[in-house]
Structures are given as C-alpha cells and as structure tokens.
Structure 1
C-alpha cells in the first residue's frame, strides 16, 4: 500500500472520508512534509489553485519528490497542470494501482539505475507517465513569456534555458515535439519576447505621426492637409488658388491618411519598428526570431533508451537498426516518397505497388493489470522482435505509440498484406504464458496507390487509418 501524504494549504482542508481507511498522513505545508525523514509515495495537495501550483513547484525541486506521484484535490492552475499528475481519484484503490504501475516502470528504467543527470531525471519523469508531456506555462514576468516549469524545477534553476535544452534533446531524438501551444517572436539580440511594436514615419522613422485628412487638387496636383484648403467657407488650393467646388471633378481625398509632424511627410500606411523592452534593441519585424511553443514528450528512441540504457547510445542505435525501426519523421518521409512514386506510375505497366499495415494491441490495459508493467513491456519488445523476423529486409517499421506499430511494405500487394497479417497472428500466439491473456491485435491496411485519396499525404493517411484502429 502506498504511503499517502495529504497537504492542506488552508486550515479547512481535510482528507475525504474515503481516505480514512488508508495510510494517510496530514500536513499543513510543504516544508512540514519535507521535514519528514521518510518520503511519502503519493502526495495530494489541497487548497487554492495558485497555492497548489507553488506547492507543486517546491516539491518538484526537492529530489525526494521529483518523480513522485503528486495529485491535487481540486482543479488547479496551469502550473498544477504542468507539475502534477492531475486531480486525485476519489477511490484510494485507484491511487494504489497508479502507484504500483509507477513503481513497476521505475524498476525497469535505465536497467534499474537511478536517474542522476538532468536529462535522465526529465526522461524518467516522462517514462513513469506514458501519456504525459512537458507543458509550457505563460509567465509574463519572464523574458521568454513561456516557461517549462517541470524542467526548471528538476534543474533547480528558474533561469535555466529550458527552450534550448528541449531543442537539444529533440535533436538527439530523445524527445519529440507535440501539439502547438503558441508562436512567439523574440528579439534577435537578447531573445526576449517583451517587445513594443511602434508605428513610425516611413521617411524619417519619427514617432510623432497622426491621422490627418488631406485634399488633392486636380488642377495642379497639389496635396496638402485639408485645413490649408479652407478659406472661410470655400475650398481654395493654396498652390494654384483654384476654387474647388465638386469632389471628383475639381479635387478628391487621396489615400494618404497619415502625416508626420517631424518631416511633414504624407503616407498611406506607417512602418512598424520593434523595440525590445529588455535590451532597447530596435529592428524590423522580419528580423525577429520566431519560436514555436510546443508540448514535448518521449520519442520512440527515447522510450527505447529509457529501457535499454540511457548511457549506451551505441546500443540504442544498433537496437533500432537491428529492429528496422525508424523515427516518425524518417518514416513519414519514406511513406511520402512511396506515395509519390505510386501516384506517378499509376496505371502504367511498371506500376510500383507499396502497402501500409497498422497493428494495435487492443488489450494493453488488461495486460498491465494482469502481467504487470515490467512483463508487459517485455512482451511488447518481444512483439517487435518477432515482427522484425517476419517482415522482409526492405520493409520498415515505426512505433506510433506503445501499443501501435506501422509497417511500410514496398512492392507488397493486397494478397501479400493479408498473408503477412496471418503470419503475424500466428507469431504472437507464442509470446505469452499459459496463465496470461493472449495479445489481442487489430489490423488495418492500405494498398498504394489504389486506396489513397487525392491530395492525401503521409500524416493524413496514417491519421485516417488510425481511426480504423481505434
């Protein structure tokens, strides 16, 4: 049974009656919890949303609780979403099950070695939560506007360049970018996003500009502010002294809407200068750096590294090569290439045929509950190994997630696709013990180019096929 700590951030908060039957210790603050000699397995924070966010940040900075399951008793703010494991289940048995799965995954992380380095600790946090991602949080007090609280907390440095670190791990293929949160622009000098966009005169770049109506004399072509044409109740051109009676025949209102009080220039649209509030650098909008703010999660290479060993990059690379596994970007590029070839030569005598096969493990949750985390991960790895023995050397595979595999099969017809599916079904029957439930697989296939849609690319094709798997 997991040791549960209930941290009440206001005096009225008490554990619900459902928690009364389990080992639940009550604390009034995070410092009081940290004073305990033995760390709790699971923590539940209760209190105002902002207070829970600050408490979660303090716990994640402490080495004893960087990886621990931390819940909130009620909905919290964005910091809670980025630092905790969500709202605590009402049933304490669900907490015990979640902690058991967490503990089983911890045992197989990095061959049982505890995480010591920053990158190992962040990857471990993601490994222990298969569906979790590193979430950005908007903080206008920060020069970068967005921060990644979990990375900063584990690094124990609020000024840590989490953006740069995450991009580095993405280039190492340990992390992959997820959903897009925002797109921001940064100063090219100091990378600050605290910028001021100022309308200025396109002639002298002065700030003192104003919208001012003007007139255009058709007789001499003179353009000047409207008040210069007004002589009593008449409109008279100050340049040629012609009387202007009818708009459209004697004069009109030009498109120029602005006038600079410094150089008296007229212009239609002002130019925009960008001035950084932090370093006072002045530049054009096109010179700004554009940065995408995204969620980050474990890549398939990262998952394999967490299982095979984080310090042995050669082992991870050779394992991927031996298993004919590809990263997502490489697989999508190869699939796009095959789709282009299939469309180009469709209908000719030398038609190039390729197929895509997707398979999903339908009873993953049941296996986790029956066989445990470690045994289930071993079964999934054995499934991939057996799959590589069945397919050809020219075929390639991508793990879309822990329970989904995609195969790219050049020169494979519909009949070949069906035969491969039968061989895979026969192979998986040997991957479980008698006391365990068999692996339940669901397949979906597509033959190129006959079964692809017009203007469909690789990501759209996999998304359409994935809908048939779920």
Structure 2
C-alpha cells in the first residue's frame, strides 16, 4: 500500500514535492489549507509536509493537527529551513522524497505497533503516544515572556488548548502519575506565593520607612565632632569642611574616614548600611520577602516506562501495575481491596475500616494525580488512595481506623490546606465526606455501592 503524504502548500507555488514525479510507494495529496486536510481520510501513519507559510500560521496548523486524533502522532515536517522553534514543534526539515523516507520510517514503524487513537482520546494519551512514536524525544522548556512563569513547554502545549495555568497543572499531574520522567534540570525559578508568577521585581527599600526612594552615596565621618553624613554635605569651595564643627578635613585616617553607612533615604533622611530587599509580583501586585517565594524547578521531560505501557494499553489504566505509586492504587485494585476488607469485617468483628471521599467540580483529569500526591504525607503507611476521574474524586481507605467527628474535622482541614496550597486567589470548592464501619457488625454494601453512597452523602 502506498504511503499517504499530505502536502500543505499554495497550489500556485512550485515545489520539488509537486513537480517531481511521485515514486510508486507514495500517494501525494496537495492541500491549500489545514481545514481541507483535516476533512480528508488521513490515518496516524500518514505523513504531513507543510510548505512555505508564515511561522505563526504553521504553529497554529501544527496545533490543530496534534489536537485531532487522526494526526496527533503523524510524522510532520516542514519543507524549508525554519527556526529552532518550528523544527522543535515538527519532526524536522525535508526537501526530497529520499529525506522524507529516511526521516519518517522509524516513526511510522513505531506508530504501527501502537493502538490507534480514537476521537475520545485525551490530551494526555495523545501527548504520550506522540512521544512513544519518537523514542528518545524530550520535551524542552523554552523562555516565553508571555507565560506567567516566563517559560513554557511548546511541544506539550500543542496537545492542550486550555489556560496556561491548567497546562502546567496538567504536566505536573502527568509527572505525578509517573507517566513522564524528569530529565536534566534546565532552570530554577522563584515564583510568587500568591499567584505562581515568575515575573518578580526585586527592589531595595528603606528599613525605617519602607520607601524605595533611597540612594547609594559616599559618606564621611568627621573625627573632630563625630558627625556622619553624605560626602556632598562636606564639600565647600572645593574643600572638605565639616558642616557641624567647621573643621578642615585634609587627611583621611587622621581628620576623617569613610564609615560603613552608604545609603540615605530621601523620604525620611535615614542613613543605613544595608537596604531591605523586597519583591513585588508584577502579575498580582503582592509584596513579599525573598525567602517567602517558592521555587519551581524546570526539567526536560521524557516518556517513562509506565507512560509507554499506558500508551500500549490505555483501557487498562493501571500503568501495568496495581499500585501507581506509594499509597496510590488504580481504581479497580482499590475496589478489590475494599471488597476484601468488607468481607473480612463481616467474618471478624475485630476488623474495621474508614473511608474518606474528597470531591470537587474544580478537579480536572490533569490535577487529580497531583492532588493525590499532595495528600500522601497525611496518610499512614497502610492507607490506600485512588483516583476517580469520572466523578472528579479521591477516595482514601484507612484500615483499622475509626474516624471520630473531632478527628474528622482536623483531618479534613489538613486535607483542604494541602489541596489549596499557596494559591489563595483560586480556592477550589472541595467537599469531604467520611464513613466508618467501626459500629457496624455487618457491612451491607459492596465497594462500588458503598463509594457511591459516600459520594452522595448517604452513608447510613
């Protein structure tokens, strides 16, 4: 079967891909616009080549293709020398069928080993499949002044078209789930405690009145009377004279010296050695001390073994293991363990357990794994947690624990604090509910029904 090539090029513009006779192993289709291409019957192993167009147009087209399940992993090239950004967002530059064959063969072979993406494929699955089709490919952060953190991951953002904050939460969630691994450290950013922006203005201010109207000036200390002030106050007729005792200051070290004080405040006239350093966030306007900011580490990202396994078996969302990471199990395994505990208690009244459901309409598929990881420090070693994407919820199973109303209140407060973190401006709407089997001789429901009843608040 001939390899399908879609060529995005103005039909009035000549090109080697159009004028050369097509080799028999290729079937070339020329499209003038991205909409025309998407309407055609392309497959994931179809090859797309984009001809000469404005860079902004190409970036927009690449994003549209990557967000369409039929072209999310397709080999995609440009046919002209492009910028580093364009080359990073595509699979490189080709100007002949020979180059195209060589550059695309490994990608196409890898795509054929993977399940085809369906129209309901999530951005997470599309990104991971894209990386799985390109072994060794890294996602690199790049400087971007339009970004709140001054950096972005342009390759990852092709697959995700929501707000920038959600994009970073999305990537953090994928990393937390173990589907992406961190590589080399690229940069370490200081970010605002209130809004997470890295656009910070460091400034010095007066320690007495907090004015920023301060100046660095040379000072003089008169040995005769002890007067200390800025050097400009001692200059008179090209001589150094003390303005307080009128002594002539001729020799440094004998008549005068230069003290440590070298700042003067033009607002309150205070003199000081060290100014106070403050930070103002240019995004939200909040002031803070330098040690109150938090650090965001930016790494190269690459597909993990767990992520590759997920691409090959996306329906078995267990990442090839029962436990995704410490204390965190996939939903099916969590339900199996809960059913086992229910049977155990029904056989032995010395066994009991507690359940907690944490639900929020503000939880997204991308934030749930990250939220689960934030809660993990609050759990005992024997506690088990799981993620329910459909209901935007987290469940925690606590064996041999009886949650009283007072312990509930403290634990729920701690959980909410962990989920809110430092973002006091966008506080999610979090609902927490609990269930304890301690007072029951016989648990009447199976795991699925028990979780449902807790979720809706009917756990009697």
- State the TM-score bracket (shorter-chain normalisation): 0.5 to 0.7
Deviates most, 191-200 or 77-86: 77-86
1:177 partner SS: strand
In structure 1, the residue matched to 2:92 is: 86
The alignment status of 1:67 with 2:73, answered yes or no, reads yes
The alignment status of 1:3 with 2:21, answered yes or no, reads no
d(CA) in 1 for partners of 2:249 and 2:106? 86
2:178 partner SS: coil
d(CA) in 2 for partners of 1:279 and 1:291? 18
2:3 partner SS: coil
Q: In the alignment, which of 3, 21, 31 is matched to residue 27 of structure 1?
A: 31
C-alpha displacement at 1:127, in angstroms?
Answer: 0.8
Instruction: Classify 1:124/1:160 alpha carbon distance in 2 versus 1 (closer, same or farther; 3 Å).
Output: farther
In structure 2, the residue matched to 1:123 is: 128
User: C-alpha deviations, 1:180-223, integer Å up to 9, x for none?
Assistant: 33322211101112222222223322111122232111233221
In structure 1, the residue matched to 2:384 is: none
2:158 partner SS: helix
Q: In the alignment, which of 192, 197, 208 is matched to residue 197 of structure 2?
A: 192
d(CA) in 2 for partners of 1:310 and 1:179? 31
C-alpha displacement at 1:113, in angstroms?
Answer: 6.8
d(CA) in 1 for partners of 2:4 and 2:295? 46
Does structure 2 conserve the Cα–Cα contact (< 8 Å) formed by 1:236 and 1:244? yes
The alignment status of 1:278 with 2:283, answered yes or no, reads yes
Does structure 2 conserve the Cα–Cα contact (< 8 Å) formed by 1:194 and 1:276? yes
Matches within 5 A, 1:216-227: 216-227=221-232
User: C-alpha deviations, 1:421-455, integer Å up to 9, x for none?
Assistant: xxxxxxxxxxxxxxxxxxxxxxxxxxxxxxxxxxx
Instruction: Classify 1:213/1:99 alpha carbon distance in 2 versus 1 (closer, same or farther; 3 Å).
Output: closer
d(CA) in 2 for partners of 1:75 and 1:136? 22
Does structure 1 conserve the Cα–Cα contact (< 8 Å) formed by 2:62 and 2:89? yes
d(CA) in 2 for partners of 1:281 and 1:13? 56
C-alpha displacement at 1:129, in angstroms?
Answer: 0.8
C-alpha displacement at 1:258, in angstroms?
Answer: 2.4
d(CA) in 1 for partners of 2:39 and 2:324? 44
Q: In the alignment, which of 62, 81, 101 is matched to residue 56 of structure 1?
A: 62
Does structure 2 conserve the Cα–Cα contact (< 8 Å) formed by 1:60 and 1:83? no
Instruction: Classify 1:238/1:99 alpha carbon distance in 2 versus 1 (closer, same or farther; 3 Å).
Output: closer
Matches within 5 A, 1:359-438: none
1:239 partner SS: coil
2:264 partner SS: strand
Does structure 1 conserve the Cα–Cα contact (< 8 Å) formed by 2:279 and 2:290? yes
Does structure 2 conserve the Cα–Cα contact (< 8 Å) formed by 1:152 and 1:160? no
Matches within 5 A, 1:16-415: 16=17, 20-21=22-23, 22-38=26-42, 41-47=46-52, 48-88=54-94, 90-93=95-98, 95-96=100-101, 99=104, 101-109=106-114, 114=118, 116-159=121-164, 161-307=166-312, 311-313=316-318, 315-316=320-321
2:16 partner SS: coil
d(CA) in 1 for partners of 2:12 and 2:85? 22
In structure 1, the residue matched to 2:455 is: none
C-alpha displacement at 1:103, in angstroms?
Answer: 4.2
CA RMSD of aligned residues (A): 3.1
User: C-alpha deviations, 1:219-249, integer Å up to 9, x for none?
Assistant: 3322112232234344332333333221121
1:161 partner SS: helix
Does structure 2 conserve the Cα–Cα contact (< 8 Å) formed by 1:305 and 1:316? no
In structure 1, the residue matched to 2:449 is: none
Does structure 2 conserve the Cα–Cα contact (< 8 Å) formed by 1:185 and 1:289? yes
Higher helix content, 1 or 2: 1
C-alpha displacement at 1:297, in angstroms?
Answer: 0.7
Does structure 2 conserve the Cα–Cα contact (< 8 Å) formed by 1:143 and 1:193? yes
Instruction: Classify 1:319/1:156 alpha carbon distance in 2 versus 1 (closer, same or farther; 3 Å).
Output: closer
Does structure 1 conserve the Cα–Cα contact (< 8 Å) formed by 2:201 and 2:281? yes
C-alpha displacement at 1:54, in angstroms?
Answer: 3.3
d(CA) in 2 for partners of 1:265 and 1:9? 69
- Corresponding residue pairs, total: 318
Deviates most, 170-179 or 5-14: 5-14
Unaligned stretches of 5+ residues in structure 2: 326-460
User: C-alpha deviations, 1:74-119, integer Å up to 9, x for none?
Assistant: 343354244211222x452553465554344334436x67572232
Instruction: Classify 1:231/1:154 alpha carbon distance in 2 versus 1 (closer, same or farther; 3 Å).
Output: closer
C-alpha displacement at 1:46, in angstroms?
Answer: 2.4
